[in-house]
Structure 1
Amino acid sequence: MQARVSEARAPGFWPLAAVFVLFVLFLYGPMFTIFVLSFQGPEGGLTFPMRGVSLHWFRQLAEGLGTVDIGAAFRRSLALGTAVMALTVGLSVLAGLAFRKRLAGGGALFYVSIASLIMPSIIVSLGIGLQFRLIDTGLKSALGALGADGMLENYGTALGLFTSALGAHLTWTLPFGLLIMFAVFNRFNPAYEEAARDLGATPWQSFRHVVLPLIGPSIVGIGMFGFTLSWDEIARTSQAIGDVNTLPLELQGLTSTVTTPAIYALGTVTTVVSLGVMGLTVGLALLLRRRQTPGRR
């Protein structure tokens, strides 16, 4: 019988393991605490110990929190996140294809595209909000000069969910999509496309049947980044959305007025949506990668 030989742990293993455990608790402990406290009974408070276990605060959340329309805010965030995801994926793929060839001024264009990553989010939001207010002023002046009093009276603001807020979110999500797609195409083997063209495929057929399936998992990942970053964004939205609020902004506002575990229930719902999108994305990426494996369909 062969004796088992156990390797001794290095002297620094256990201290590093302890640091890692503390880091994980620090990172995910608050989220887990929110989850637990959101399932309290009707007499529950904002801190431990828990007073019962129920879905009471989720039912109260469904009924509404005062004058705040949580359902409308949820739909706005969902619509904005979907639009941001679609534009992030589309623009990133197009940019990745364009940058496969040397472009005049391509370097400057690349750095301008990712410059917003190093800018403070609140500054970006303030700048976009100011820009659209200047647009409002210019449009109102133009309508007044043209004598279009009816249009001027009905004109509100260019600030909105799918104008300024959409642009603000793209300044956050698009650089991540560009960096991912540039990395993908940097290690993409063009021999696959050349083989397809040798067999008579058109450029569109080559992209659709060769390039797109190969970069599919990366596209799914970019979509996940686009949606989740938009879904949770507060700072870049705060000054650029106009007179409506997304769900994160409503959640931020409710922290100073709602003093029941209903606020925890709302946080749990938003987190579950993010985790659901991430799980769906991982599953779709694994499915696409499985289909790329020879002999598996």
Structure 2
Amino acid sequence: MNRTGEKRPAAFWWLAALFTAFVLFLYGPILAIVVLSFQGPAGGLTFPMNGVSTFWFSRLWQGVGVVDIWAAFGRSLRLGALVMLLTVLLALPAGLAFRKRFWGQGGLFYVAIASLIVPSIVVSLGIGLEFRLFDDAIKALAESTGWGFLQGYETSAGLYTSALGAHLTWTLPFGLLILFAVFNRFNPAFEEAGRDLGASPMQVLRHVVLPIIAPSLVGVALFGFTLSWDEVARTSQAIGGRNTLPLELQGLTTTVTTPEIYALGTVTTAMSLLVIALALGTVLILQRRRNRRR
């Protein structure tokens, strides 16, 4: 029965059951991995559990075989932070520019979001091929000229070059689409009021526009980090010599046969949840600060 004392129709219970099944389907695998990661030393990869302990987390802390998992963790964390920053810094002026009408606006928009349609592995292969052609050109130049500073050159592909570009092809369109939605609902009267009070365009942007859209910018940053944090396909052919954490995790699934792999999955999931919690907390703080100013 609901709050008014009326009996709920049968359709409500069918829809409630369907929603419950959807939630279990969505989060059940994650919950199973978290539970199985807390098994005892004799634990396996399936239920039933064999004891309860943090043994596999201690093993994870020591390292997973020959893979330096914590180095990969640090690489993913640094790359995700840089992608997050660049996504905000590039998507914001792009969103502001699209508020004005200019020639070629439609074509530029479709080019900007085209990478969302192209399969991720194709984007990764294209970026990897582009850097290999660039490397071949540099090596050919070194052989033909004999320039000393080019001797020993191997590749320009790496974490902050090809991998960074591959991740930005994934995060920037999402950031741009979010800001499109934000600015479509943005009331230009706030900007006009600032200009009427004598504010310059930069002052209007800093003191009027940015404080209003700050929660949305936090959302763009959150998208940038989380999309980069778990990206596999776009990174696989463009990473260079050192793997990120998702690539190491993908490789370990074929070699590690203990709950240690579940412990790693639990840690990475906890990291994602921590970033989401920080983003939501930041949004709440910004909203409260804006309400106080009103």
Q: Encode CA deviations 1:178-230: one digit per residue, 9 max, x unaligned.
A: 00111111121122122112222121111111111000000000000000000
**1:172 is the counterpart of 2:183:** no
Distance 1:165 1:158 in 2: 11
**1:71 is the counterpart of 2:70:** yes
- Tell me, yes or no, if the aligned pair for 2:142 and 2:151 is still in contact at 8 Å: no
Q: Encode CA deviations 1:209-253: one digit per residue, 9 max, x unaligned.
A: 111100000000000000000000001100110111000000000
Per the normalisation by structure 2, the TM-score is 0.96
Could you tell me which residue of structure 2 aligns to residue 220 of structure 1?
A: 218
Could you tell me which residue of structure 2 aligns to residue 135 of structure 1?
A: 134
Write the letter of the residue equivalent to 2:171.
T
Quote how far apart the aligned CAs of 1:294 are: 4.5
Quote how far apart the aligned CAs of 1:11 are: 3.0
Distance 1:57 1:132 in 2: 39
Distance 1:133 1:181 in 2: 34
Distance 1:129 1:103 in 2: 33
Q: Within 5 Å, give how 1:43-192 maps onto structure 2.
A: 43-148=42-147, 150-192=148-190
Paired-residue identity, %: 68
Per the normalisation by structure 1, the TM-score is 0.95
Could you tell me which residue of structure 1 aligns to residue 243 of structure 2?
A: 245
Which stretch shows the higher mean deviation, 237-246 or 201-210? 201-210
Distance 1:152 1:23 in 2: 57
1:264 corresponds to which of 244, 262, 267: 262
Distance 1:52 1:26 in 2: 26
Quote how far apart the aligned CAs of 1:292 are: 1.6
Could you tell me which residue of structure 2 aligns to residue 11 of structure 1?
A: 10
How many equivalent residue pairs? 292
Distance 1:5 1:201 in 2: 53
Structure 2: segments with no counterpart, 5+ residues: none
Distance 1:81 1:91 in 2: 15
CA pair 138-295 structure 1, distance change in 2 beyond 3 A: closer
Distance 2:21 2:100 in 1: 47
Which stretch shows the higher mean deviation, 195-204 or 241-250? 195-204
Could you tell me which residue of structure 2 aligns to residue 279 of structure 1?
A: 277
Runs of 4+ in 1 over 3 A off after TM superposition: 150-153
Structure 1: segments with no counterpart, 5+ residues: none
CA pair 256-5 structure 1, distance change in 2 beyond 3 A: closer
Quote how far apart the aligned CAs of 1:141 are: 1.6
Write the letter of the residue equivalent to 1:191.
A
Quote how far apart the aligned CAs of 1:16 are: 2.0
Quote how far apart the aligned CAs of 1:8 are: 2.8
Write the letter of the residue equivalent to 1:31.
I
